Structure 1
């Protein structure tokens, strides 16, 4: 892998920071970043700030801006271990942009931040190319970013990624708990695997079993590294299409990330409501079952950590649930009903009550997971 030369007379280079490598990384990523730019993006790549023409917001009656920020977590350690960096960018966009669609907002633009121990231009370009490709797939302009070299703080092959995005939604079109009604159906949208959550547990399980990322993963048809780097599914455009196609059908959305299914669903239900998610309606993907078997733990013990095959949940009008499922499936994402929302006191039992500081509804998973494929 070619690297830019370091000037030995440059004191910053002597401290371990290679500005020439940073410049080369920018050159390598320019084309992929520009591919996300429509006429709303001004100034191109390399400015101190990205510019986005917000004139379209004049067409809104009362525009609200939605914003989200996140990272990818310890999944980056696997990308670094097997030297594969072209998918981690999609994970970042999935974690950031897909949080915006939860309120019904359309994403406008995103920025990224990469901190590394040493700028390796082609590695950085691979990461940003993945971010840009996923931005394009979600209708989001990548308007800027920063790559920071931190020698002495991070190892030469270490890096972390983070990002922030902004979207817009009409004030009277915001989705959320206040729209949820008694009898609403809870619809699951399938995940592509682990997405970007629970990797500290994954790494702990594999380390304890003496398994490396280059080892073959039983029943997964790949090495552990390849299987675990399956990128996060992107839900933004499919969900926006469903919202537009079926006005008023979708009442609330939940992105199933850290905390698992019950906690994330509870966040978007109103206080005084409850729902039971029926495990018998699906079979967790093989990666979850294999990891639980290696750990010697029932898969139910992982429900507060992994998505177990559900990447998003939609709370929809009960009379339109079949139409919503059909609309989601027409976008290439498997969908099915997992439960129903009820208002009033929850039955006796162990429910997850709200999460992340939200005084929301009560949720629990019931029954046993189905055997075989969904």
Structure 2
């Protein structure tokens, strides 16, 4: 081994590239600043002053998640500027489902080879997600691990912290039979089921324009970032208009919807009331997947579901500046938690 070259660099770790990443991402982090942020990027811990929130009985609610094998498509198609939004969305959509306003976010990127330009794109996507969620990006970590990952590979995970008034926490206890189920549209597949998605489209280049996709390239549809629902839902929570919230992620309707109500209740959903997106029709067709199974895997076009008292439905529709889909009701449980007719 030559003594003329830095030993760490010879092992495959480029410290200088790590410094460059930090400098490159500072402008993206700056976009996410909000009241309460303390300290500067690069410290050993991110700081946030809770006294700035004005919450009387504060409860901190946290969420952590990754992007899953959707990352493999970002790598395959060499498009890295939106995958960060997926990471933020998976975390903040979970905590808004508990009634929390996101305060801050931290990310973790692990890679086989630190390419500053690429990692800047990843963090730019994280920053965009934070802006949409109203959360500050107050810290993170980039790890270069040759041997653990291939040179072109990377993984991405995140952690979000939100705050809620104790009296406004959404824990399912207020959901009752007769509540109306309202759905907010998804932007696409979001970030779940991609092991199956990749198998279905394994022999495709991504440049195909399938008849079902209405003129869009397959790769653009598959990498459409996960929608963030914070700004639509938080006003409803603060106004006390929502009894329960379900974030439709892995496990689709069957696994996620029951998480927002007690065991003695069930959700009755009308299939014809769901705005099924073209990509799900394509997946069902080309993957030869049973229609019923699709609801056990994907969001099918509804990314977030609300349980609302009948008298509040019109007010919710008025406050949410988009189409809200009335897709079902809460009923007394018989033998199933979710009934899709």
- Please confirm whether the aligned pair reaches a TM-score higher than 0.5, indicating the same fold: yes
1:78 equivalent to 2:73? Answer yes
Of 186, 189, 193 in structure 2, the residue corresponding to residue 194 of structure 1 is 189
Of 331, 338, 341 in structure 2, the residue corresponding to residue 363 of structure 1 is 338
Q: 2:229 maps to which residue?
A: 235
Q: 1:215 maps to which residue?
A: 208
Of 93, 107, 121 in structure 2, the residue corresponding to residue 126 of structure 1 is 121
Q: Are residues 39 and 187 of structure 1, via their aligned partners in 2, closer, same or farther at CA, if it must alter by over 3 Å?
A: closer
Q: 1:301 offset after TM fit, Å?
A: 2.1
Q: 2:265 maps to which residue?
A: 273
Of 111, 136, 139 in structure 1, the residue corresponding to residue 134 of structure 2 is 139
Q: 1:143 offset after TM fit, Å?
A: 0.1
User: Any conservation in 2 of the 1:81–1:213 contact (CA below 8 Å)?
Assistant: no
Where does 1:299-338 land on structure 2 (aligned, <5 Å)? 299-328=291-320, 330=321, 332=322, 334-338=323-327
Where structure 2 has 5 or more consecutive residues not aligned to the other structure, the ranges are none
User: Any conservation in 2 of the 1:103–1:175 contact (CA below 8 Å)?
Assistant: yes
Where structure 1 has 5 or more consecutive residues not aligned to the other structure, the ranges are 1-6, 352-361, 367-374
Q: 1:151 maps to which residue?
A: 146
Q: d(CA) in 1 for partners of 2:124 and 2:289? A: 38
Q: d(CA) in 1 for partners of 2:246 and 2:289? A: 27
Report Cα offsets for 1:337-370 as digits up to 9, x if no partner. 1111123x42x5xx2xxxxxxxxxx11211xxxx
Q: Are residues 322 and 70 of structure 1, via their aligned partners in 2, closer, same or farther at CA, if it must alter by over 3 Å?
A: same
Q: TM-score, normalised by structure 1?
A: 0.87
1:225 equivalent to 2:219? Answer yes
Q: 1:359 maps to which residue?
A: none
Q: 1:255 offset after TM fit, Å?
A: 0.3
Q: Are residues 8 and 102 of structure 1, via their aligned partners in 2, closer, same or farther at CA, if it must alter by over 3 Å?
A: farther
Report Cα offsets for 1:310-355 as digits up to 9, x if no partner. 1000001111112212322x1x3x3111111123x42x5xx2xxxx
3-state SS in 2 of match to 1:103? coil
Q: 1:176 offset after TM fit, Å?
A: 2.1
Report Cα offsets for 1:212-240 as digits up to 9, x if no partner. 22333333223322210011111011101
User: Any conservation in 2 of the 1:71–1:163 contact (CA below 8 Å)?
Assistant: yes
Q: TM-score, normalised by structure 2?
A: 0.95
Q: 1:97 maps to which residue?
A: 92
1:180 equivalent to 2:175? Answer yes
User: Any conservation in 2 of the 1:214–1:224 contact (CA below 8 Å)?
Assistant: yes
Of 331, 334, 340 in structure 2, the residue corresponding to residue 342 of structure 1 is 331
Displacement over 6 Å in runs of 4+: none
User: Any conservation in 2 of the 1:213–1:223 contact (CA below 8 Å)?
Assistant: yes
Of 14, 22, 43 in structure 2, the residue corresponding to residue 18 of structure 1 is 14
Q: d(CA) in 2 for partners of 1:177 and 1:336? A: 20
3-state SS in 1 of match to 2:5? coil
3-state SS in 2 of match to 1:219? helix
Q: 1:56 offset after TM fit, Å?
A: 2.6
3-state SS in 2 of match to 1:22? helix
Of 151, 162, 168 in structure 2, the residue corresponding to residue 167 of structure 1 is 162
Q: d(CA) in 1 for partners of 2:226 and 2:271? A: 22
Q: d(CA) in 1 for partners of 2:211 and 2:110? A: 34
Q: 1:39 offset after TM fit, Å?
A: 4.1
3-state SS in 2 of match to 1:69? strand
RMSD in angstroms over aligned alpha carbons?
A: 1.5
Q: 1:112 maps to which residue?
A: 107
